[in-house]
Structure 1
Amino acid sequence: MLLCATLPAWGQASSPKLYVCNQGEATVSVIDMASMAVETTVDLKERGFSENAKPHHVVAEPDGSHWYVSLIGANTILKMNRQNEIVARLDNFEVPGLLALDPSKDVLYAGRSMSAVNPPKSLGMIERSDMEIMERVGTFFPRPHPLAVTPNGEHAFIASLGTNQLMGIDTDTRETQLTRLEGTTQTPVQFAATADGSTLIAGGQKTGQLLVFDASEAPALSVTDTLAVGSQPWHPVIGRQSGLAYVPNKMSNSISVVDVDNASVQATIRGDGLAQPHGTVLSADGQHLFVSNNNREGTYEPRGDNPEAGTVTVIDTRTNEIVKVIEVGTYPTGVGTFGGAQPTGS
């Protein structure tokens, strides 16, 4: 195992990379965000995993020294270096799903996959220097999935796919607080945080609504606005500079551009390559949005050698126009970056 004496500085990184989980073929595509091209493909089968490893989500250290990937089918979370070598791993973590880095502590947070019917009712806190489990924080609700850490690292949040319940955690004291939402079950898929951590958003898979939360009294949360976006909003991201949110609507094949402060949809982006959009990442300057697309229904017709290829669609945020469609592996899902803005603010 590789031991890191100190945490890297929390900031922008040079030569940013985008890591794209190809859940359908046990690979991860590594994209150079400057050239908008696939630099290499990390084949997990060559590293001892089966075709059913199901890589799902990635987060990376801000300096690019290491990245972490959850493997649903292998019940494993890997720590990789910048040479894409496995340097540490956590095994026997049942159905890991979304990941989030704490920007001020040596902690990696891990939720559970939404594909699991009855996963453990807990959130994993992992010491990322050695990938040892520190604590399993009980959530008290089923199917804990959407996950976020505030930019200052003081609070983490997780919510249930099965019930209208959310939990905030004081990351120092481990004090938790539950919040219950009224009305129809939302099934929030993923959070995104504003740059100051005062506001969270999450899309409701079942309702097609975007929920806006006041997090100023964290670990408590309260809903301040609800607005209609598209069908099955998935992993949103909020621009650090603009404050605009980009919400991929999986079953509408579109991106909603949302003014978070005013809780209003400013634009809807559609076009070639947007085929069941899943994960989102912004470039460091906020000028390009990278969106992974499952393409499991064949909405996009691949031009390359893989007839089942998914895509990463690149959008110019100044014009809301698609400027590049990058073909990757089969069934691309979660994405992560160093040097850009990730959905959780990590």
Structure 2
Amino acid sequence: MHLGRGFIVCLALALLVAVPAFAGGGAALVFVCNQDAATVSVIDTSSNDVVATVPVAFAPAGIAADREGATLYVTHPERGEISVIDAAKRQVVRILKVGGTPFGITVSQDDTLFVSDWNNNTVMAIDPQSGKELRKVVVGHSPAGIVSSPQGALVIVANRESNSVTILNATTLGIAATIPVGRAPFALTVSPDGTRVYVANVQSSNVSVISTQTLSSIATIDVGHMPYGLATSIDGRRLFVASQSTGVVSLIDTDDFRILSREKVGRFPEGIVMTPDGSRAYVANWFSGDVSVLDTASGKEIKRITTGGGARSLAVASSSARSAEHHQ
């Protein structure tokens, strides 16, 4: 199987719901998955410089951090593997051989890995130490972006080729609901209070808003062409949406869904993450191989950082995180 450059899509899975509450208070690091370069760049958010580059296996896709920001997990769909990166050592410490086509990834409150399998149309719960499959459930066709709710009770996955979102019970992987959305849903994120899920629909150029209380779609927001990444502000009052084909990040008011501003960034922006203090957003620009740093209050770009070829997804970890070997 070969998904190709235009099809292996790195996900912005470490969105706000996956931003760790760091113990130790160190400055945040942003880890950037570079698909074409087969590397992960490490950005120190105190200086906005690349301070390390971690080689990984061929065609990395999704990336997610654990809840303490000590460990990063990178999926490799074409290898059936997950690379485990120690945030403090800034190196791969082990490989989990999970099989299938692991694509999107998120980490639950108890550090269980939840992984979407693109070709097999399933979501797997995986032990982070051994890579052993704990549970599996069939969802829609081509499951892509996957996130867990802030309280950890739910896992939500976007089924790109089924135009739907599946909401799962995180403990049992039982299906709570399958909700129709726009065309080709890809990335998603959950509001900080856990009451809303925002879904980027690539082909219909809009964002679906889902209530986790009623398990139904409550609004649709028209945005720029091909939305591929999104994240909410720390207070949940703003939504950032990256539109790939226009190279723009839109800032949206989540009360009335008005577009407040549009900011030009690099070429083909995708993944977005927030710093733990909420002051900055980092946007991976796929075609220009760099990351735009945005001021979250204004939505304006304040710096652009060269990373590596095919920068597509990001995760946040702590510069003072303990070594993963001691954390386990």
Separation (CA, whole Å) in 2 of partners of 1:172 and 1:140: 15
| Alpha-carbon spacing, 1:58–1:270, altered in 2? closer, same or farther (3 Å) | closer
Give the conservation status (yes or no) of the 8 Å contact 1:231–1:251: yes
Q: Judge conservation of contact 1:194–1:200 (CA < 8 Å) in 2.
A: yes
C-alpha contact (below 8 Å) 2:13/2:104 kept by paired residues:
no
Answer yes or no: is the 8 Å Cα contact 1:165–1:178 preserved in 2. no
Q: 2:146–2:157: 8 Å Cα contact kept in structure 1?
A: yes
Q: How does 1:92-171 map to 2 (within 5 A)?
A: 92-104=56-68, 106-112=70-76, 119-141=78-100, 143-150=101-108, 152-171=109-128
Is contact 1:208–1:232 with CA below 8 Å preserved after alignment?
A: yes
Measured on the aligned residues, the alpha-carbon RMSD in Å equals: 2.8
Match of 1:245 among 197, 210, 217: 197
Cα distance between partner residues in 2 of 1:326 and 1:56: 21
**Cα separation, 1, equivalents of 2:13 and 2:187:** 13
Is this contact kept in 2: 1:58–1:70, CA < 8 A? no
Establish whether residue 232 from structure 1 lines up as the match of residue 184 from structure 2: yes
SS of 2:265's equivalent in the other structure is strand
1:310 aligns to 2:247 (yes or no): yes
What is residue 51 of structure 2 aligned with on the other side?
87
CA contact (8 A) 2:43 2:49 kept: yes
State the AA in 2 paired with 1:146. Answer: G
Count of paired positions: 268
Partner of 2:305: none
Whole-angstrom distance in 2 between the partners of 1:58 and 1:196: 17
- The answer on 1:213 being equivalent to 2:168 is yes
Displacement after TM superposition at 1:180 (Å): 3.6
How far is the alpha carbon of 1:58 from its aligned partner? 8.3
Matched letter for residue 83 of structure 2:
G
In the TM superposition, what is the alpha-carbon distance from 1:277 to its structure 2 partner?
0.6
- TM-score, normalised relative to structure 1: 0.70
* Secondary structure of 1:196's aligned partner: coil
Overall identity of the aligned pairs, in %: 22
Residue 235 of structure 2 corresponds to which residue in structure 1? 285
Specify which of 311, 316, 328 is matched with residue 265 of structure 2: 328
Structure 1 unpaired stretches of 5+? 1-22, 25-53, 114-118, 296-308
Alignment CA distance shift 1:189-1:71 (3 Å): same
Mean CA deviation greater in 100-109 or 70-79: 100-109
| 5+ long unaligned stretches in structure 2 | 283-312, 317-328
Q: Is the 8 A contact 1:58 1:99 kept in 2?
A: yes
Gap change, CA 1:64 and 1:153, over 3 Å in 2: farther
One-letter identity of the residue aligned with 2:31: Y
Segments of 4+ in structure 1 off by > 6 A? 341-346
The amino acid across from 2:240 in the alignment is F
Q: CA deviation at 1:96?
A: 1.2
Query: Hey, what does 2:256 align to over in structure 1?
Result: 319
Q: By how many angstroms is 1:262 displaced?
A: 1.8
Q: Tell whether 2:140 aligns with 1:194.
A: no
Aligned to 2:36: 73
Partner of 1:265: 217
Shift of 1:318: 0.7
Aligned-pair distance for 1:100?
Answer: 0.7
Deviation at 1:133, TM superposition (A): 1.5
Distance 1:166 1:244 in 2: 21
1:88-132: per-residue Cα shift (whole Å, max 9, x none)?
22214211122111113621111136xxxxx11011111111122
CA distance in 2, matches of 1:76, 1:322: 34
Q: Which moved more, 1:97-106 or 1:258-267?
A: 97-106
- Structure having the higher Rg: 1
Residue range with higher mean Cα deviation, 57-66 or 163-172:
57-66
Aligned to 2:114, the other structure's residue is in SS state strand
Q: TM-score if structure 2 supplies the norm length?
A: 0.74
